[in-house]
A and B are shown apart, each in its own frame.
Chain A
Amino acid sequence: MSWLNEFPSLGSEQLSAMRRTIDGVFRGFTREYGEGIERMFDPLRDFLLFSERLLTQSPWPLVVAAIALIAWLGSRSMKIVVGTVLTLMAIGYFGMWDDTMKTVSMIFVCTVVALAIGLPIGIAMSRWDRLQKIVLPSLDVMQTMPSFVYLIPVVMLLGIGRVPGLLAVVIYAIPPVIRFTNLGIRLVDSDLLEAADAFGASTWQKMSKVQLPLALPTIMAGVNQTIMLSLAMVVVASMIGVQGLGQPVLKAISNQYFTMGVFNGLAIVGIAIIFDRVSQAYGKRLQKHLEVVHG
């Protein structure tokens, strides 16, 4: 009766042979094409380097002023602008300016890439139910798979550094943009689409003038989520060489530097709050026309 107590499984020999084969195939693939693939990501690396230099090498008052201006344009709220400036000053005062700027630059590039990939996928999904049926479960996998697991193939393929870090962050953070874009477009009132049809709008006119503008507040909620998720990945990504606030946290973990960990953690919280408040206030402003003034 031993089969009852022991789960039927492949023998350890077969299992290790299987692992070796798959790993071998992937390693072979990496050796063959790794360099070419790495070169494919060169423009991305240049973009990353450019934005990082821009933020770290510009005079700090200029950077603070620029971020404050963006906060103002997004939120139109003096309270948020003052909060933003105070947070940045505090971060700088406690000596975390450079790391913070590296992280901000990383988040910025990740968000841009996530939008550039996620928006078209979300739009396509909203138009084809069959695509939605394929993409939604893939997103579930991306979101539940422990992030450390997909660091492995990324590192095998591209080594360590900024670009593999960026990829890992984008994979982790892109699902909300795709989901919310799809959802926002699908939620647009069918009466409005019928009206657009009745006036002879083409597919493109419907998408650009009716569906996307009306879905924008929902899409912004997705962008907000994406930013938050990329911030959450910063520490994990630091394990594969992404510079910024994650590095000192990693150092603090391995050396038990309590204060250092807390300070850098708080800096991450600080910029998270800035990003969150500004993008939410912007999303809310987009919905201003929905305020009912007259019965």
Chain B
Amino acid sequence: MVDQAISTTPDANSIGISIRKLYKIFGPTPEKFLERVQNGMTKQELRDDHGHVLGLRDINIDMPAGGIQVVMGLSGSGKSTLIRHINRLIEPTSGEVIAGTEDVVKMNHNELLRFRREKTAMVFQKFALFPHYTVLENAEYGLEVQGVSSKKRRERSMKWIERVGLKGYEDNYPNQLSGGMQQRVGLARALSNDAPILLMDEAFSALDPLIRSDMQSVLLDLQQEIGKTIVFITHDLDEALRLGDKIAVLRDGEVVQQGTGQEIVLKPADDYIESFVQHVNRGRVIRCRTLMQPGARVNGPDVDPSLVIEEAARLLTVDNIEAANVVTAKGKHLGVITMNDIIGAIVPPKPEVAEDAEVATAADY
């Protein structure tokens, strides 16, 4: 399913976002400490000695137009702070946020309002639906703010309400719906805006696992049609790997690693990320392109280079065959992939450190 998202061609209207040297310090006089933080003052020192909190340090991320950029991190890593800089719900201490050609940081009040109305839409972790509005009125909210006529906004919002599967509920109030349905309203509200940038702040984190996976499918499906630039915040690696064309991992307000899901799983930048990716189902992340060996055609099925190896393994198991040909959509033979290689890749290398630790605890008893 990740493949579908990758193969999405960016909409002609979609715009990329690039974040440059972004710093955020929380506290009464952040400017005073900016330079010292830029010169390497630690988060600890800033907090203990000066009573300021370091939110973000030197963030540089290029978010592809028309793709899904995931920002992942545990709570307190600064990911929600980061996404709020894109539509400037939070003022940066220094740095640039360039959406398309405009620097969001330099906009005046009116330009910022227009940017938020026309270029961005946001989905929130706790839904943040207006309780006094019906489902339809909630979905219409962005258009209402823009001053679109009521007939037009009804038309556009109804389309998205139907698209997210809420037809028949348009006259209900949000409190009458379940969590999953409420977040569909949140999604419909954001999509009705038809803005090129979609900001999703832990949009599915409050939902239970089944509904979450269901909503991920809805989003990937929609993205096929709409090809928007989506910034998706999550603390869940599986979600990040499933949705993200690109993933940036945040820790203590700094980017620890960024790249595709496969890069992060196969080449974790440090122990922190390694501990994260240890329990990931690699079969769903690694693609045939990565594992294939050069070689002549074998007697087996053809697979796409971007197919995840779990799917390839399934194909091979069904027919009880040892190897498959990796072939591009245009029919060009690239190499072969064998069942042995796939199994080797899916079963992760044994973490030696963990083993030592076990011995140590056993000796203690």
List residues of chain A with CB under 8 Å of any chain B CB: 189, 191-192, 194-202, 205, 209-210, 213-214, 289-295
Q: How distant is B168 from chain A, measured CB to nearest CB, in Å?
A: 14
Q: How far is the CA of A290 from the CA of B141 in the complex (A)?
A: 19
- Cβ-defined contact, A192 with B128, below 8 A: yes
Contact A199 B193 (CB under 8 A): yes
Complex Cα gap A52–B128 (Å): 47
B325 within 8 A of A: no
B89 close to A (CB within 8 Å): yes
Contact B114 A198 (CB under 8 A): no
A201 / chain B contacts, CB cutoff of 8 Å: 145
Q: What's the minimum C-beta distance from B170 to chain A, rounded to whole angstroms?
A: 14
B145 touches A199 (CB 8 A): yes
Beyond A197-B89, A199-B141, is A289–B193 a contact (Cβ under 8 Å)? no
Contact A199 B117 (CB under 8 A): yes
**Inter-chain contact B117/A200, CB cutoff 8 Å:** yes
Query: Can you identify 20 A-B contacts, CB atoms within 8 angstroms?
Result: A191-B128, A192-B130, A194-B124, A195-B124, A198-B121, A198-B122, A199-B121, A199-B122, A200-B112, A200-B113, A200-B115, A200-B118, A200-B142, A202-B113, A209-B144, A290-B175, A291-B175, A292-B175, A292-B176, A294-B178
Q: Which residues in B have their C-beta under 8 angstroms from that of A198?
A: 87, 89, 116, 120-122, 124, 199
Binary contact track B95-133/A, C-beta < 8 Å → 1, others 0: 000000000000000001111111011101010111110
Which chain A residues lie closer than 8 Å to B116 at the CB level?
197-200
Residue on B with the closest CB to A190?
A: B128
Q: How far is the CA of A277 from the CA of B144 in the complex (A)?
A: 35
Given contacts A192-B130, A214-B132, contact A293 B113 (CB under 8 A): no
The B185-201 residues at the A interface (CB cut-off 8 A) are: 193, 199
A291 to B115 Cα, complex, angstroms: 36
**Shortest beta-carbon distance from A194 to chain B in Å:** 6
A154 to B173, CA, bound (A): 49
The minimal Cβ–Cβ distance linking A118 to chain B, given in whole angstroms, is: 22
Contact B132 A194 (CB under 8 A): no
Give chain A residues whose Cβ lies under 8 Å from the Cβ of B124: 191, 194-195, 198
Query: How long is the Cα–Cα vector from A200 to B89 in the complex, in angstroms?
Result: 10
The answer to whether A205 and B145 have CB atoms under 8 Å apart is: yes
CB under 8 Å from chain A, chain B span 163-210: 173, 175-179, 193, 199
In the complex, besides A195-B128, A199-B141, A294-B177, 19 extra interface pairs with C-beta distance below 8 angstroms are A191-B124, A194-B89, A195-B130, A196-B145, A197-B89, A197-B116, A198-B89, A198-B199, A199-B117, A199-B122, A200-B112, A200-B113, A200-B114, A200-B115, A200-B142, A213-B132, A290-B175, A292-B176, A295-B178
B122 contacts A289, CB within 8 Å? no
Bound CA–CA A8/B122 (angstroms): 68
User: What are the residues of chain B within 8 A of A210 when measuring CB–CB?
Assistant: 130
Distance (whole angstroms) from the CB of A196 to the closest CB of chain B: 8
B145 contacts across to A, CB distance below 8 A: 196, 199-201, 205
Closest Cβ neighbor of B125 among chain A residues = A191
A291 vs B177: C-alpha distance in the bound complex, in angstroms? 11
Residue from A198, A214, A292 whose CB has the most chain B CB atoms within 10 Å: A198
Question: What residues on B are CB-neighbors of A196 within 8 Å?
Answer: 141, 145
Closest 9 CB pairs of A and B: A200-B116, A200-B117, A195-B128, A198-B122, A289-B173, A293-B176, A191-B128, A199-B142, A200-B113
Looking at A191, A200, A205, A293, the one whose CB has the most chain B CB atoms below 10 A away is: A200
Q: Looking across the interface, which residue of chain A has its beta carbon closest to that of B126?
A: A191
Q: How far is the CA of A18 from the CA of B61 in the complex (A)?
A: 73
